[in-house]
Amino acid sequence: MSRRISDSTVRRLSHYLRALEELEGRHATTVSSDQLAARGGTTAAQVRKDLSHFGSFGKRGLGYSVAELAGRLRRILGVDRHWKVALVGAGRIGSALFEYPDFAARGFRLVAVLDRDPAKVGRVWGPVTISDISELERVVGERDIDLMILAVPGDAAQAIAERAVAAGARGLLNFAPTQLRVADDVPVTNVNLVMEMEALSFALTKDQTAS
Amino acid sequence: MSRRISDSTVRRLSHYLRALEELEGRHATTVSSDQLAARGGTTAAQVRKDLSHFGSFGKRGLGYSVAELAGRLRRILGVDRHWKVALVGAGRIGSALFEYPDFAARGFRLVAVLDRDPAKVGRVWGPVTISDISELERVVGERDIDLMILAVPGDAAQAIAERAVAAGARGLLNFAPTQLRVADDVPVTNVNLVMEMEALSFALTKDQTAS
DNA sequence: CTACATTTGTGAAGCTTTTCACAAGCTTTC
DNA sequence: GAAAGCTTGTGAAAAGCTTCACAAATGTAG
């Protein structure tokens, strides 16, 4: 149980959990690795290998209990609890994220929003009032923020990341096109939309060359 | 030059290109694999190996010409041209993407927006008027759409993807939490924000267990 | 209770990606 | 023009990930 789990495994676990929740909605009671694989776009062997890193949850000849496996995966992924999340950057992307219903559904609670634009500070977004970026340390400390979403320009991201971590944030979701450097024990995931588009562009360009 | 290029390599190429563009801004003329590695969060050997799949662009003892390598990477990634992009879903995420300045900077031109909500259809977003989703085939055909961004609910995504591909879209950027099934020659990249948050949650939860 | 049909869990094999290490090549210096 | 100092490009080794294949376990039918 102590070996390092690869990123791709973690992503697949998320997929499995989503599939299981759909199955729960349909009142399915058991599911085989084969069925899970089909929904997640992978193979049965991969599903079993992924799960085997955390224990053995299935019954031979029968498959997995949907409810039990979903519960186990929630625990493994850490979404059997609430996470307090702060959002930095109340621009377009920030506001889209703020209203993103799926975050709340998985226990990610956006309890603070910060921005550097004085015109935005003080505005009320639902239950939250936008704070000035200078309040970052206070907000992170007082509201006991776990995770920080950075939806700020690239040149501001590194400085904010450092302040956030120093103030107690434990993980970062970074939308800026910058490779953040933080302590090794602070997980960072990057979402880079241009990069995703470029992946498409590359795939199509390569095809052209090949033909 | 014909071997399959891994996803991770493509992503790194994007990183390198961004770093090179920054260096161009500073009027740097050459850069070593070591310097590029530092900016991209990887190693010098990895940079050289990545580039070696496409030819040899450097000069031993000196490094790479910033301008030349940037040009080569733009060509390799296919961003030395314009791509016509349509956006389906004029909700929060859609509108954030529409105004995302970095897309335009890399040649991704959002030339159409579609939505199924009659209240939104006909609205004018800058140079674009929102079309009804029923117009999808006509819009894709007439405006010669290359890439389609799907910012729609999960249950609508598969059907729209199929229509888009049938109408001529060549690649898809999918924001819905659904594994799209399309022809093998249609590249799809998925952006799943909940999954990214869960990766953080997992990393932090695992740490807790370990200690 | 036995035979049969499933399906898991897992070592081993196969494949891919990353890292290593060094010869080859370019530039500069003396 | 030879020597020194870098830095690339690349086989080979190492590490990591996925697929295979099958024993073991469970449920079902007769």
Give SS3 for B168. coil
Q: What is the CATH number of the domain that holds B37?
A: 1.10.10.10
Choosing among A26, A200, A206, A209, which should be mutated to test the B contact, i.e. which has the most B CBs within 10 A?
A: A200
Query: Which tokens belong to B8?
Result: 């991770």
What percent of chain A stands above pLDDT 90? 93
Is the pLDDT reported for residue A193 higher than 70? yes
Same domain, A122 and A39: no
Say yes or no: Cβ of A32 under 7 A from any atom of strand D.
Answer: no
* B4: CB partners within 8 A, 6+ apart: none
* B174, B180, B200, B209, best to mutate vs chain A, most A CBs in 10 Å: B200
Which whole number is the average pLDDT over B108-112? 97
Residues B90 and B184 in one domain: yes
Q: Looking at the predicted structure, is the pLDDT value of residue B211 above 90?
A: no
CA distance A123 to A100: 19
Q: Which of A171, A165, A177, A150 is nearest to A90 (CA)?
A: A150
Contact (CB<8Å) A14/B185: no
Residues 101-130 of B with CB under 8 A from A: 102-103, 106, 108
**Is strand C less than 7 A from the beta carbon of B45?**
yes
Pairing of strands B124-125, B58-59: unpaired
> Parallel, antiparallel, or unpaired: how do β-strands B58-59 and B63-65 relate?
antiparallel
Please indicate, yes or no, whether residues B153 and B177 belong to a single structural domain of this protein. yes
Do A67 and A89 have their domain in common?
Answer: no
Q: Does A43 touch chain B (CB under 8 A)?
A: no
Q: What is the mean pLDDT of residues B147-167?
A: 97
Residue B82 and residue B107 in contact, taking contact as beta carbons nearer than 8 Å: yes
- Confidence check: pLDDT of B135 > 90: yes
Percent of the residues in chain A that have a pLDDT greater than 70, as a whole number? 97
Same domain for A67 and A87, yes or no, is: no
- Nearest-nucleotide field for B62 (CA, C1'): D7
B108 and B190 share a domain?
yes
Mean per-residue pLDDT, A174-190: 95
Domain containing residue A113: CATH number: 3.40.50.720
In a domain, A144, yes or no: yes
- When pLDDT is cut at 50, 70 and 90, the band that residue A208 belongs to is low
C-alpha span between B79 and B82 (Å, rounded): 7
Q: Which chain B residue lies closest to A190 (C-alpha atoms)?
A: B196
In a domain, A110, yes or no: yes
Q: What is the mean pLDDT of residues B54-59?
A: 94
Please, are residues A187 and A165 in contact by the beta-carbon 8 Å criterion?
A: no
> Does the pLDDT of residue B25 top 90, yes or no?
yes
Cβ atoms of A112 and A143 closer than 8 Å: yes
Are A126 and A184 found together in one domain? yes
With a cut of 50, say whether residue A86 has pLDDT above it.
Answer: yes
Can you tell me the mean pLDDT for B195-202?
98
Structural domain span for residue A25: 7-76
Considering the domain architecture, whether residues B54 and B90 belong to the same structural domain is answered as no
With an 8 Å Cβ cutoff, is A200 touching chain B? yes
Considering the domain architecture, whether residues A104 and A61 belong to the same structural domain is answered as no
Nearest to A83 among B10, B106, B201 (CB): B201
Nucleotide nearest to A57 (CA to C1'): C8
- Evaluate if residue A188 carries a pLDDT over 70: yes
Instruction: State pLDDT tens for residues A133-145.
Output: 999 999 999 999 9
Nucleotide nearest to B56 (CA to C1'): D9
Three-state secondary-structure class, residue A130: strand
- Asked if residue A17 lies in contact with residue A73, where contact means CB atoms within 8 angstroms, the answer is yes
DSSP secondary structure code for residue B4 in this structure: P
**pLDDT category of residue A3 using cuts at 50, 70 and 90:** confident
Mean pLDDT of the residues in chain B: 95
Is the predicted pLDDT of residue B188 greater than 50, yes or no? yes
Residues A43 and A100 in one domain: no
Judgement on whether residues A97 and A164 belong to the same structural domain of the protein: yes
Determine the pLDDT at residue A206.
75
Q: In 3D, which of B178, B115, B107 has the Cα closest to residue A18?
A: B178
Tell me the shortest Cα–Cα distance from B73 to chain A, in angstroms: 10
Given a cut of 50, is residue A210 above it in pLDDT? no
Size of interface A-B (CB pairs under 8 A): 174
Confidence class of residue B206 from pLDDT cuts 50, 70 and 90?
confident
Which parts of chain B are beta strand (E)? 30-31, 58-59, 63-65, 83-88, 108-115, 124-125, 128-132, 147-150, 171-174, 188-190
Give the nearest partner residue to A201 out of B2, B83, B102, using CB atoms: B83
**Tell me, what's the pLDDT at A98?**
94
Q: Quick check: is B32 in a domain?
A: yes
Query: Structural domain tally of chain A?
Result: 2
Tokens of B101: 């300045």
> What pLDDT sits at residue B3?
72
Calculate Rg over the CA atoms of chain B.
20
Report, as an integer, the average pLDDT of A59-78.
Answer: 97
Asked if A105 and A121 touch (Cβ cutoff 8 Å), the reply is no
Touching A: B residues 122-181, CB under 8 Å: 146-147, 170-173, 177, 179
pLDDT digits (tens, 9 = 90+) for A87-97: 999 999 999 99
The four Cα atoms A133, A136, A139, A141 give a dihedral, to 10 degrees, of 180
Binned at pLDDT 50, 70 and 90, residue A211 comes out as very low
Is the separation of the CB atoms in A115 and A109 below 8 Å? no
**Mean pLDDT, residues A111-119:** 98
B124-144 average pLDDT score: 97
Q: Tens digit of pLDDT for each residue in B160-177?
A: 999 999 999 999 999 999
Task: Indicate if B123 and B139 belong to the same structural domain.
Answer: yes
Instruction: Give the closest residue to B69 by CA, choosing from B82, B50, B43, B41.
Output: B50
